[in-house]
Structure 1
Amino acid sequence: MRPSSRMVLLKSYANHYFTFYTNFNSRKGHELQENPNACMLFYWPRVHRQVRIEGKVTKVPNEDAVAYWNSRPLASRIGSKSSEQSKVVPNREFLLNKQKALEELAEKDGPDSITKPDLWHVSPIISIYTNHTHYFLNQLMCGFALKPDYFEFWQGQSNRLHDRIEFRESDGQWIIQRLSP
């Protein structure tokens, strides 16, 4: 499998897990299902620092994905529903037309109307009740939690003799080592 990288929004860090949400049917969604090993990178160019984090991901409970979906602004939910992420489309107008149709539906029938099961690209796999409103969620939105077992801290230096420190978990203990740049 070829390496793959994609920017995602880190939604939370809690209980030693980094959590992010994504489209389950996207390239990254499929890749994380096949290979749970993942890497995150945080980079701050102004201060010449980065942190690399590696570990395995697990899928978060569906209820968390539904709660995240419902917490998103309507425009973001419409944007997600307008796109079958990573699929080839004929042109940008195709996406804009889908977006407009969903905006009109939400305006006419309310924001929850865009989550009706007949609008999903794939048949619904779960349904739950929240505040007496029936929400359907298929594999469009899911969350992954990364449990780190490796950190590398990098501090850039003008002479290119950068500082690199790694923290590697081994048998429940963290081993700290300095690396050559």
Structure 2
Amino acid sequence: MPEPTPEELARLATSEIPSGDPMPIFEEWFALAKQSEPNDANAMALATATPDGSPSVRMVLLKGHGPEGFTFYTNAQSRKGTEIRANMQAALLFHWKSLRRQVRIEGPLVEVSPQEADAYFHSRPFVSQVGSAASDQSRPLDQRSTYLDRVESIEAEWAAEGEVPRPAHWTGFTLRPRAIEFWLDRANRLHDRRRFTLTGAGDAVSWSDGLLYP
């Protein structure tokens, strides 16, 4: 590995991830990702665990975010849904390869209201509503035709209305961040990491942060 020049060392000596409030940083990075990622800048890995600590991870899509947290939707009878209901905490990971940046987020989960779930479910294309209503997500499927027959039946039943009633088990969850970590690729693998942690309680909460070794 070539030795960094004095100019490079001077740049590397300063973090490019600002201190303070992590949410504006996420907004800036997410906006850049939406411009540069070829597909699904809102794709994120969602890690959950059973009460006895068995982990699992899969990709989901971020469907809303703000000071209150990061929201995604799912079938609550799926594997991730049952794990969430049994252990209401999770971790998220965004990896934007085009930007060479990552964001890790950890915290408890809160279920969205039925009204919020209804609003998002019916904002989806009709064919997506049909597919979700027809799926017993994560459960064994004897053959593809069984699922496709169910899709065809539900589509025919609700085509005139143009929307499908939201299944009661189809809902959303918001991760309320307690920790957010930003990772930024730097030259010579001297990467930049800053971790933000929420401290305090009630109206007295605030973010503290510090750098981490890469």
The answer to whether the superposition gives a TM-score over 0.5 is yes
Aligned to 1:147: 176
Shift of 1:111: 3.0
Q: How many residues align?
A: 158
Are 1:71 and 2:120 an aligned pair?
Answer: no
Misfit runs of 4+, over 6 Å: none
Query: 2: CA distance between counterparts of 1:12 and 1:18?
Result: 6
Match of 1:138 among 165, 168, 183: 168
Partner of 1:71, secondary structure, is coil
Query: 1: CA distance between counterparts of 2:115 and 2:59?
Result: 24
Q: 1:115-126 to 2 correspondence within 5 Å?
A: 115=165
Shift of 1:179: 0.9
1:48-77 Cα offsets, whole Å, 9 max, x none, are: 101111111111111111111121110000
Aligned to 2:194: 165
CA RMSD of aligned residues (A): 1.6
Instruction: Report the structure, 1 or 2, having the larger strand content.
Output: 1
Query: 1: CA distance between counterparts of 2:67 and 2:208?
Result: 20
Identity %: 41
Aligned to 1:62: 114
Shift of 1:11: 1.1
User: TM-score, normalised on structure 1?
Assistant: 0.80
Query: 2: CA distance between counterparts of 1:86 and 1:158?
Result: 42
User: TM-score, normalised on structure 2?
Assistant: 0.69
Partner of 1:104, secondary structure, is helix
Match of 1:4 among 44, 49, 56: 56
Unaligned stretches of 5+ residues in structure 1: 116-135
Q: Which one-letter code corresponds to 1:39 in the other structure?
A: A
Unaligned stretches of 5+ residues in structure 2: 1-52
Are 1:100 and 2:152 an aligned pair?
Answer: yes
Q: 1:80-99 to 2 correspondence within 5 Å?
A: 80-99=132-151
RCO higher in structure (CA 8 A, sep ≥6): 1
1:60-111 Cα offsets, whole Å, 9 max, x none, are: 111111111121110000010121000010122221111122222233x433
